[in-house]
C-alpha cells in the first residue's frame, strides 16, 4: 500500500477533529451547565461552555431529595439482575440451538426468528403483563424482554464457529453438555459474551418506555425520571434557593440528572471496548 499524501492525511485529521468536537462539545456543555451557578446560567442564556463560578449545588439538591437517588438504585438493580438473567438465558438457548440434532431445535429457532420479524404490539404486551400480575413490579421491566433475538443470533453464530473437534474430544472424555458449555464453550466465548452483556446492560439502563407504562411514578428508574425532568420540565419539589436568593436555574438540575444517567455506562464501556469489535464481527460472520 502506498503512503497517503500529506494533503490526504491532513484532510483525515481535519475530519477526525471535527467529529471529535461534535461529540465532545455537547457533552462539555452538559457537564459545565450542571456545574454552573445561577448567575452563570443567566449570563450565558441558559447554556454554559465553561462555568465561571462552579458549584455542586445541583448535584447536592437532586441527590439529597431522594427521588434521583431511589431511581438510581432502581436502575442499577434492574440492570444488574436483568443483564445476568438475560445473559444466562440467551447463552443456554444459543448453545442448544447451535448444536445439531437437538430435538425441536429447528422449530424453536424459527419461532424465535418469527418474533423478531413480527414483534407484538404495545396493547398485547400490556395485556400479557397485566394478566401475569406484573404491573407495578420490576419484573415487568425484565421478563418481557428477557431474550433479545439479535443477541441470540450473535451467540449462536459464535458457538457454531467453535471447531467441532473440541466438542468431539470432550465427549470422548466423557463430558456432558453442561461440562462442555462451562469448561470449553464459555471460556472461548468471552469476547461475544462481553459484547452481549454490554448490549443488555445498555438496554436495561436506558429503558424508560416500559417503566412509563407498567410502573407507578414512585418506582420509576433513572431514565424515566430523567425524561420527566428534561422533556416535561419538572423540577425537584424541594429545590432550594440559589446564592442570589432566586430559585436555581432548571438547566442545572436537568443537566445534573443527565450526567448522573450517562456516566455509569461511560465508565463501564472502556473495560469492554477491546471485546466489542471482535465479538460482534466474529458472531456476525460465523452466523
**Does residue 286 have a pLDDT over 60?**
no
Residue-wise pLDDT tens digits, 29-83:
888 888 888 887 877 777 888 888 888 888 887 877 678 888 888 999 999 999 9
CA distance 152 to 196: 9
Least confident span in 25-29, 39-43, 191-195:
39-43
From 3.30.1330.10, 1.10.3720.10, 3.40.50.300, 3.30.830.10, which CATH number describes the 57-286 domain?
1.10.3720.10
What is the model's pLDDT at position 207?
86
CA distance 13 to 45: 33
Backbone angles phi, psi at 137, to 5 degrees: -130, 150
Which of 66-75, 197-206, 239-248 reaches the highest mean pLDDT?
197-206
CA distance 155 to 98: 9
Q: Could you tell me what percent of the chain has a pLDDT over 70? A: 87
CA distance 106 to 103: 8
159 and 189 Cβ atoms separated by less than 8 Å: yes
Angle between helices 6-35 and 57-65 (to 10 degrees): 60
CA distance 263 to 34: 13
In order, the DSSP letters of 173-214 are TT--HHHHIIIIIHHHTHHHHHHHHHHHHHHHHH--HHHHHH
What is the model's pLDDT at position 275?
66
What would the mean pLDDT of 110-126 be, rounded to a whole number?
84
Which residue has cell 425520571?
Answer: 225
Domain boundaries, the chain: 57-286
What is the model's pLDDT at position 37?
82
Half-sphere exposure of 173 (CA within 13 A, CB side): 12
CA distance 174 to 145: 36
**Does residue 243 have a pLDDT over 50?**
no
Amino acid at each position: 500500500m502506498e503512503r497517503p499524501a500529506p494533503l490526504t492525511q491532513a484532510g483525515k485529521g481535519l475530519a477526525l477533529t471535527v467529529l471529535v468536537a461534535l461529540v465532545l462539545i455537547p457533552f462539555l456543555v452538559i457537564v459545565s451547565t450542571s456545574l454552573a451557578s445561577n448567575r452563570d446560567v443567566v449570563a450565558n442564556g441558559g447554556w454554559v461552555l465553561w462555568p465561571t463560578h462552579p458549584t455542586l449545588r445541583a448535584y447536592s439538591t437532586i441527590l439529597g431529595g431522594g427521588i434521583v437517588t431511589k431511581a438510581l438504585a432502581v436502575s442499577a438493580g434492574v440492570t444488574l439482575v436483568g443483564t445476568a438473567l438475560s445473559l444466562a438465558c440467551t447463552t443456554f438457548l444459543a448453545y442448544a440451538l447451535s448444536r445439531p440434532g437437538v430435538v425441536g431445535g429447528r422449530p424453536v429457532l424459527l419461532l424465535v426468528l418469527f418474533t423478531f420479524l413480527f414483534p407484538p404490539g404495545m396493547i398485547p404486551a400490556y395485556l400479557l403483563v397485566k394478566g401475569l400480575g406484573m404491573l407495578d413490579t420490576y419484573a415487568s421491566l425484565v421478563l418481557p424482554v428477557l431474550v433479545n433475538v439479535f443477541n441470540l443470533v450473535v451467540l449462536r453464530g459464535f458457538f457454531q464457529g467453535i471447531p467441532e473437534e473440541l466438542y468431539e474430544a470432550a465427549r470422548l472424555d466423557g463430558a456432558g453438555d453442561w461440562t462442555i458449555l462451562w469448561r470449553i464453550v464459555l471460556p472461548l466465548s468471552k469476547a461475544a459474551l462481553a459484547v452481549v452483556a454490554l448490549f443488555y446492560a445498555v438496554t436495561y439502563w436506558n429503558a424508560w418506555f416500559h417503566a412509563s407504562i407498567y410502573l407507578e411514578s414512585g418506582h420509576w428508574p433513572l431514565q424515566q425520571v430523567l425524561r420527566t425532568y428534561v422533556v416535561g420540565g419538572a423540577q425537584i419539589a424541594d429545590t432550594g434557593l440559589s446564592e442570589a436568593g432566586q430559585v436555581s436555574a432548571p438547566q442545572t438540575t436537568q443537566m445534573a440528572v443527565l450526567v448522573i444517567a450517562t456516566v455509569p455506562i461511560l465508565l463501564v464501556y472502556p473495560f469492554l471496548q477491546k471485546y466489542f469489535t471482535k465479538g460482534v464481527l466474529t458472531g456476525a460472520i460465523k452466523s
